[in-house]
Amino acid sequence: MSLHPPGEAAEHLALHGRFTRASRMGAGHINDTFLAEFEGAEPLVLQRVNSAVFPDPEGVMANIERVTDHLARRCPDERRALRLVRAKDGRAFWRDAAGELWRAYRCVEGTLVKDVVGGPWEAYEAARAFGAFQYLMSDLPGGPLEETLPGFHDTPGRLKAFEASVREDRAGRAAAAKAEIDAVFSRRAWAERLAAAARAGLVPVRVTHNDTKINNVLFDAASGKGLCVIDLDTVMPGLMLYDFGDFVRTAVSPAPEDEADLSRVQVRTEVFEALAQGWRDGSGGMISEEERALLPSAGRVIAYELGMRFLKDHLDGDRYFRVHRPNHNLERARCQLRLASEIFSREAELALYC
Ligand X SMILES: Nc1ncnc2c1ncn2[C@@H]1O[C@H](COP(=O)(O)OP(=O)(O)OP(=O)(O)O)[C@@H](O)[C@H]1O
Q: Is 215 in the site for ligand X (CB under 6 A)?
A: yes
Q: Is 305 in the site for Mg ion (CB under 5 A)?
A: no
Partner that binds at residue 28, options Mg ion, ligand X, none, CB closer than 5 to 8 Å by kind: ligand X
Q: Is 25 in the site for ligand X (CB under 6 A)?
A: yes
Pick one of 108, 145, 197, 252: the residue that binds ligand X (CB under 6 A): 108
Q: At what angle do helices 240-251 and 289-316 cross, to 10 degrees?
A: 60
Q: Starting at the earlier edge strand, list the strands of the sheet with 226-229.
A: 111-112, 217-220, 226-229
The three-class DSSP label of residue 119 is coil
DSSP state of 151: T
Q: Max Cα separation, the chain?
A: 63
Partner that binds at residue 5, options Mg ion, ligand X, none, CB closer than 5 to 8 Å by kind: none
List the beta bridge partners of residue 278: none
Q: Which is nearer to Mg ion, 101 or 174 (CB)?
A: 101
Instruction: Give the residue nearest to ligand X (CB).
Output: 26
Shortest Å distance, C-beta 80 to Mg ion: 17
Residues 6+ apart with CB under 8 A from 213: 246, 247, 250, 251
Distance between CA atoms of residues 230 and 83, nearest Å: 10
The answer to whether residues 46 and 14 touch, using CB atoms and an 8 Å cutoff, is no
Q: Is 30 in the site for ligand X (CB under 6 A)?
A: yes
Pick one of 216, 234, 253, 329: the residue that binds Mg ion (CB under 5 A): 216
Q: Is 33 in the site for Mg ion (CB under 5 A)?
A: no
Q: Which is nearer to Mg ion, 53 or 202 (CB)?
A: 53
Distance between CA atoms of residues 308 and 252, nearest Å: 19
Of residues 298, 307, 269, the one with CA closest to residue 183: 307
Of residues 208, 34, 77, the one with CA closest to residue 134: 208
Q: Which is nearer to Mg ion, 115 or 349 (CB)?
A: 115
Q: Which is nearer to ligand X, 231 or 331 (CB)?
A: 231
One-letter amino acid identity for 78? E
Q: Is 45 in the site for ligand X (CB under 6 A)?
A: yes
Partner that binds at residue 277, options Mg ion, ligand X, none, CB closer than 5 to 8 Å by kind: none
CA 13 to chain centre: 26
Shortest Å distance, C-beta 103 to Mg ion: 14
Question: How big is the chain, counted in residues?
Answer: 354
Pick one of 111, 138, 269, 327: the residue that binds ligand X (CB under 6 A): 111
Shortest Å distance, C-beta 291 to ligand X: 26
Partner that binds at residue 31, options ligand X, Mg ion, none, CB closer than 5 to 8 Å by kind: ligand X
List contacts with Mg ion (CB under 5 A): 216, 231
List contacts with ligand X (CB under 6 A): 25-31, 33, 45, 82, 105, 107-108, 111, 113, 215-216, 218, 230-231
